[in-house]
Amino acid sequence: MNDSLKVCALEDVPERGARGFEVFWDGRAIPLIVLRENGQIRAYLNSCPHTGVRLEWRADDFFDAEGQHLQCTTHDARFRPEDGHCVAGPCRGQALVAALLEERDGQINLLDPQSLPRSARRR
Ligand code: FES
C-alpha cells in the first residue's frame, strides 16, 4: 500500500520560492524542500549529496544570492531547482533526491515516503 502524508497548503509556498518542511513517517522525520514556480510544485529531500546535511543554515533560505540555484551552505554546492542536479561544488554531477508530491484541493501531499532514503542528517 502506498502512503500519502500532508506536507502543507499550496499557499504556504511562495511563487518562485522554496520552503522547508518536515513530515513524520514510520518513526522518522523526513525533511523536505518544497519549491513552486509557475504554479508547479516539486520537492527534494533536504539532504546534500555531499555529506547528507540539510542545505540551509537559516529557515527557508535555500537559494543562492542570485536566486538561480538551490545552495548548500556547508560547502557551497549549487543545485538546479528544476531537477536538483548539482552544477557546482564538491558533489557536482550528483543530485538531490526528488520526492513525489501531489496537489489536491490546495493541499500538498508527499506520496510514497517509503521510497525516500534514510540519509538526511541534521546540522
Ligand atoms: S555538505 Fe553540501 S556541499 Fe558539502
Q: Where are the domains of the chain?
A: 4-115
Strand, coil or helix: 91: coil
CA terminus-to-terminus distance, the chain:
33
- CA distances for 112 relative to 23, 94, 105, angstroms: 12, 22, 19
Pocket test for ligand 1, best of 91, 92, 119 (most atoms within 8 A of CB): 91
Q: Is the dihedral of CA 34, 63, 40, 43 positive or negative?
A: negative
Q: Which overall architecture, per CATH, does domain 4-115 show?
A: 3-layer Sandwich (2.102)
Query: Could you tell me which of 105, 82, 101 has the C-alpha nearest to residue 9?
Result: 105
What's the pTM value of the predicted model, to 2 decimals? Answer: 0.93
Strand order in the sheet with 78-79: 70-71, 78-79, 86-88
Check if 121 has its Cβ closer than 6 Å to any atom of ligand 1: no
Q: Which residue CA neighbors atom 4 of ligand 1 most closely?
A: 75
Distance 100 CA to ligand 1 centre (A): 23
pLDDT at site 122:
62
Q: Give the pLDDT confidence of 54-108 residue by residue, as tens digits.
A: 999 899 999 999 999 999 999 999 999 999 999 999 999 999 999 999 999 999 9
Give the distance from CA 72 to its chain's centroid.
12
